[in-house]
């Protein structure tokens, strides 16, 4: 029997609760489809950090490298300063494994009661597109800093020139502090994400690839982004293209999501707009993602975070995590099992009995996972 090693990082808050259901469903799917999933559990997250001071050590990354994929919950804890866990674990994994694509399907599931989509009269075929978010560049590269009292005179001098400020370098006060963060994109980085977006359109028989940027203001980085989009598009003459500014793209997500097929976005805009995408497809609890390195180790996770407002209550919606699990199965080549998981989710929705509170029900996270397993077993 084929066996796959999967690294499991439940992480924080609801991440632990929803991945527990995901693991349950994936294991059931593997039994039905006759293969073996061997989950290797890693404790990385806030508890581990608060106890040991460790985020994710190098030897763990080396071990994870030998596994077929990573299944992750969420990182983030109100007890820890924002950024420590998110950068130190989640972004570390994305960058370390060069998972340059963040694939985020925005799809209204069939059988989801109409009222769960905040857009009036939308059907599953109206909200069905794929966001290809660049995942390693842009404002996420981590170059930034704060310039304040006690900082080297040279940087203060630059600042004084830049803003035509009048201050004496020897008498700098706290009020003179500035902070900056630099966005970086590379031609290679743009080329590979554009190529992935066009290939995604071809594979999924989609007609359009839209590119989102803010090239009218952030002219350097998104000028290069746009230029590369135009160049790469020439290799795909059968695919139609459009270029949108991010503000208008946000409007179109709400006004007519049916216009989109594949949408390629820089890292930060992709992050923001896919929370909007999650809402139009039924809520944060429904939106999955894959951090993909086509030739390496990929990582699958819900797009939502650790949801401290509902964590510990056992009421988080596990659909996003289970769906991300289906994407994981697809990526390791278990296509039938991947489809079975989606059919399981859709059947539970059709039955309409098990609903977590975000969907207006009173079911627990665990009950939803169990219901998906029961639904899948009907197909043995
Ligand atoms: P969040 O996504 O955790 O929560 C936003 C809202 O969506 C909350 O009201 C929450 O209750 C709801 N929600 C999220 N997941 C849900 C689910 N499965 N079922 C039902 N409702 C759900 O965003 P936030 O509150 O801005 O962030 C909380 C923490 O998570 C922060 O530390 C943040 O940095 C981190 N975060 C991590 C990831 C990740 O690991 N991929 C993603 C986003 C945020
Ligand atoms: C996401 C999250 C992460 C991101 C954070 C937690 C680093 O918001 O996966 O959408 O910005 O990519
Ligand atoms: Mn996000």
Quick one: which of 328, 239, 348, 244 has its CA closest to 288? Answer: 328
Q: What is the pLDDT of residues 56-93, one digit of tens each?
A: 999 999 999 999 999 999 999 999 999 999 999 999 99
252 — pLDDT class (breaks 50, 70, 90): very high
Name the active-site residue from 49, 71, 100, 140.
140
Q: Flag whether pLDDT at 159 surpasses 90.
A: no
Contact 363, 355 (CB under 8 A): yes
pLDDT of residue 237: 98
* Cβ–ligand 2 contact at 373 (below 6 Å): no
Name the residue ranges covered by the structural domains of the chain. Answer: 1-109+283-380, 118-137+185-280, 145-181
* Cβ–ligand 2 contact at 263 (below 6 Å): no
Average pLDDT, the chain: 95
Q: Flag whether pLDDT at 306 surpasses 90.
A: yes
Give the fold, CATH level 3, of 118-137+185-280: Rossmann fold (3.40.50)
Q: pLDDT above 70 covers what percent of the chain?
A: 98
Q: What is the pLDDT of residues 163-195, one digit of tens each?
A: 787 777 776 677 777 788 999 999 999 999 999
Quick one: which of 252, 255, 247 has its CA closest to 119? Answer: 255
- The larger pLDDT score, comparing residue 259 to residue 179, is at 259
Q: Flag whether pLDDT at 309 surpasses 80.
A: yes
**DSSP strands (E only) in the chain:** 3-11, 36-41, 69-74, 101-107, 128-134, 138-147, 178-184, 208-213, 240-245, 262-265, 288-292, 299-302
**Distance, CA 269 to ligand 3 centroid (Å)?**
10
Give the fold, CATH level 3, of 1-109+283-380: Isopropylmalate Dehydrogenase (3.40.718)
**Distance, CA 271 to ligand 2 centroid (Å)?**
6
Rounded Cα–Cα distance for residues 129 and 307 (Å)? 25
Q: What is the pLDDT of residues 15-42, one digit of tens each?
A: 999 999 999 999 999 999 999 999 999 9
**Distance, CA 164 to ligand 2 centroid (Å)?**
36
Q: Whose CA is nearest to atom 8 of ligand 2?
A: 271
Q: Flag whether pLDDT at 273 surpasses 90.
A: yes
Q: Whose CA is nearest to atom 7 of ligand 2?
A: 86
Rounded Cα–Cα distance for residues 89 and 111 (Å)? 36
Q: What is the pLDDT of residues 115-130, one digit of tens each?
A: 788 998 899 999 999 9
Q: pLDDT above 90 covers what percent of the chain?
A: 87
Q: Which residues of 330-351 are buried (b: 16+ CB within 10 A; e: fewer)?
A: bbbebeebbbbbbbbbbbbbee
Q: What is the pLDDT of residues 185-229, one digit of tens each?
A: 999 999 999 999 999 999 999 999 999 999 999 999 999 999 999
């Amino acid at each position: 029997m084929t066996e796959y090693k999967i690294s499991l990082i439940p992480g924080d808050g609801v991440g632990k609760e929803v991945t527990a259901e995901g693991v349950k469903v994936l294991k059931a799917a593997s039994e039905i489809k006759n293969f073996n999933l061997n989950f290797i559990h890693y404790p990385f997250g806030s508890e581990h950090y608060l106890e040991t001071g460790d985020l994710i050590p190098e030897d763990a990354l080396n071990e994870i490298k030998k596994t077929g994929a990573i299944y992750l919950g969420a990182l983030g804890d109100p007890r820890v300063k924002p950024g420590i866990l998110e950068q130190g674990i989640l972004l570390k994994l994305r960058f370390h494994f060069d998972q340059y694509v963040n694939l985020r399907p925005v799809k209204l599931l069939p059988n989801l009661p109409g009222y769960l989509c905040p857009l009036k009269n939308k059907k599953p075929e109206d909200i069905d597109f794929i966001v290809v978010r660049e995942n390693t560049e842009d404002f996420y590269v981590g170059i930034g800093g704060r310039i304040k009292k006690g900082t080297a005179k040279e940087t203060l001098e630059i600042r004084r020139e830049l803003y035509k400020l009048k201050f004496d370098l020897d008498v700098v006060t706290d009020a003179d502090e500035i902070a900056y963060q630099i966005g970086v994109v590379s031609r290679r980085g743009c080329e590979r994400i554009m190529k992935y977006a066009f290939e995604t359109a071809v594979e999924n028989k989609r007609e359009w690839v839209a590119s989102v940027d803010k090239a009218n203001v952030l002219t350097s980085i998104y000028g290069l982004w746009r230029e590369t989009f135009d160049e790469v598009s020439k290799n795909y003459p059968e695919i139609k293209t459009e270029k949108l500014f991010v503000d208008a793209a946000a409007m179109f997500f709400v006004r007519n999501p049916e216009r989109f097929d594949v949408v390629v976005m820089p890292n930060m805009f992709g992050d923001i707009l896919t929370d909007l995408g999650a809402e139009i497809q039924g809520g944060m609890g429904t939106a999955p993602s894959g951090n993909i390195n086509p030739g390496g180790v990929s990582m699958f996770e819900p797009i939502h975070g650790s949801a401290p407002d509902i964590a510990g209550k056992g009421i988080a919606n596990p659909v996003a995590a289970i769906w991300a699990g289906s994407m994981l199965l697809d990526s390791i080549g278990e296509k039938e099992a991947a489809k079975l998981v989606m059919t399981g989710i859709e059947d539970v929705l059709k039955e309409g009995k098990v609903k977590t509170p975000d969907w207006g029900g009173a079911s627990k996270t665990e009950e939803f996972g169990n219901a998906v397993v029961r639904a899948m077993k009907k197909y043995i």
